[in-house]
A and B are shown apart, each in its own frame.
Chain A
Amino acid sequence: MVFITKFARIGVQAARQLRATPLATAQWRSFHITSMLDKERRYTDKHEWVELLDATKAIVGISNYAQEALGDVVFAQLPEPGTELKQDDECGALESVKAASEVYSPVSGKVTEKNAQVEDTPALVNSSCYDKGWLFKVDLKNPTEYEKLMTEEQYSAFVKSSAEH
């Protein structure tokens, strides 16, 4: 993750330096860096995921493991835009037939948008937990929090080990 952050910073610097250079190159570079960031999804031990939209904005959802364990999600309550969240704050809830599950914010920051579609159609969390079923977007207060979360690989191992216990 340090790797990615450095890369991101270099990217920003590179983009600045490249302002003077032909547009096509700069676009190519920033596109490239953005797609690298998008792929780096991080996870919490409470099964939320975070993806960076840029250096300070992130998008949050719950993992495939979590949606499977919950089953058919029938109700979603998400944090209102403007809400200031600290990392691990309880900020919403998802409910299925069999269980209620709180949503905890994986990062600190201000909520900029909630996914109203998920509140209308909670089943999106089951059908598309990493895409259409995202929960909310947040302006990061402390980007290092993101870096300390589990990588895809670490999270897979975490899920596997907790399933064995």
Chain B
Amino acid sequence: MLKLSNRLKLTRVRALPGAPRHASSAHTGEGERTALYDFHVQKGGKIVNFGGYALPVQYSDQSIIASHLHTRSVGSIFDVSHMLQTYVRGKDAAACLESVCTADITGTPAGSGTLTVFTNAQGGILDDLIVNKVSGKELYVVSNAAMKQQDQEIISAAVSSFKSQGKDVAVEFLAPSDQSLIAVQGPRVAAELAKLLAPATALDQLYFMGSMVGTVAGIPSVRITRCGYTGEDGVEISVDSSHVRTLTEALLANGTLKLAGLGARDSLRMEAGLCLYGSDIDAQTTPVEAALAWLVAKRRRTTRDFPGAEVVLGQLKGGVQRRRVGLQMLGAKPPPARSGVTIFSEGQQVGQVTSGCPSPSTGRNIAMGYVQDALKAPGTKVELKVRDKFYEAEITKTPFVKANYYNKPKI
């Protein structure tokens, strides 16, 4: 979900992998500051304009590779306050949000959540988002910063429409100046966080995609959601902006966790096989093409009442021309294949890379892209044209590294 529009102040550096094509050009200057801005600068954060927000791409104490590996082995803290946090409330909140996305929110247990997508009438993905069902009357939604304005319009229109039918629903969009969001990701995060929680807080009962409110480091009313964008166990913590610095300092205090920036966030999500909106998925891509058909909930396939349902359900039955796949480059020391690289098979163009990078954990160059549906099977050999040369690659299952989510044990 991250929008890596790292506009490095270096004219030679091409647009970053995953820079949202539609969003980055509109932003000049440093961008809007989050509540942690001064803290980032003090800690040696290299600030870039990322989708209109001034955020650190990395910190001076570690290279991006080191920061990436520290997240995988220990844990890191990312400021993701630029993302849009929204509450939808009222007894018709679930039905209202369902009218614009593909999830079964009604059927989601309270305290749990789901990844979903907003779709348009053609079945194209307008954004990806996480919906947490706080209760039957309250939803907590986190969506992409670069799509903030559009997402507000989508939700507001749905709310207005429901209200005009006499339904009970209201929306509250949180501003980064009021409410911050930090992602704390890595295998040792739960243990570190547990030290700061009020006694009797059952963090071990909070499973992947679950959400709760608690007291952390003495700060009350902090929302902890067990999710993230790295493939590791971890949480996203929503906290009043006046307390976010105290909370971050408390999490950093014993030196186990370190700050990490957008650079590591992008390579971590690549390895985890997670899509970046604007690069890997967009309004011209359907969930079926994007290999995200699992986001179209079972009940919604029967009710056929989300935007673009006929297109999407038609594709589920009749197939698609192109499909999102993972790619791994073969051979000795190939260059990384990034967004825009053409994929060939037997001399024919068969697709395009949508994002890619060297993978710090595997030492391979990894990528995601779209290929002709017939070529989607893992192990299929293809060639990637980087600049003027062809390099061998193969279609690979994602995630590229094993996910370590804290899932509820299956009984």
Contact = CB atoms under 8 A, between A and B. Distances in A.
B333 A66 contact: no
B256 interface: no
A163 B65 contact: no
User: Looking at chain A, what size class is its interface with the partner chain?
Assistant: 20 to 34
A75 B58 contact: no
B358 A93 contact: no
B265 to A, nearest CB: 10
A41 to B, nearest CB: 18
A160 B126 CA distance: 39
A98 B57 CA distance: 9
Contacts of A65: 10
B320 interface: no
B64 A95 contact: no
Interface residues of B, number: 29
Interface stretch (B13-21, B137-145, B396-404): B13-21
B16 A98 contact: yes
Nearest to B58: A71
Contact of A77 (B14, B65, B335): B335
Interface stretch (A51-59, A79-87, A99-107, A145-153): A99-107
A46 B11 CA distance: 6
Interface string A43-76: 0011100000000000000000110011110110
Contact of B336 (A75, A119, A162): A75
A98 B17 contact: yes
Question: Main SS of the interface on chain A?
Answer: mixed
B263 interface: yes
A67 to B, nearest CB: 10
Contacts of B333: 75, 119
Contact of A101 (B4, B13, B64, B267): B13
A65 B63 CA distance: 15
Contact of A70 (B13, B266, B357): B13
Contacts of A75: 333-336, 358
A104 B11 CA distance: 12
Contacts of B17: 98-99
A31 B63 CA distance: 40
A66 B360 CA distance: 21
Contacts, number: 78
Given A71-B64, A72-B63, A97 B12 contact: no
Nearest to A44: B12
Contacts of A66: 10, 12
Contacts of A46: 11-12
B336 A100 contact: yes
Contact of A102 (B9, B14, B266, B357): B14
Contact of A97 (B8, B9, B263, B335): B263
A135 B16 CA distance: 23
A25 B11 CA distance: 47
A104 B335 contact: no
Contacts of B58: 71
A15 B231 CA distance: 67
Contacts of A97: 64-65, 68, 263, 267, 357-358, 360
The listed residue with most B CB atoms (<10 A of its CB), out of A45, A71, A119, is A71
Contacts of A6: none
Given A66-B10, A98-B17, A100-B336, 14 more contacts: A46-B11, A46-B12, A47-B11, A71-B58, A75-B335, A95-B358, A96-B64, A97-B64, A99-B14, A100-B14, A100-B338, A101-B10, A101-B14, A102-B12
23 contacts: A46-B11, A47-B10, A47-B12, A66-B10, A66-B12, A69-B8, A71-B58, A71-B263, A72-B64, A77-B335, A93-B387, A95-B336, A95-B358, A97-B65, A97-B68, A98-B4, A98-B266, A99-B16, A100-B14, A101-B12, A101-B13, A101-B14, A163-B9
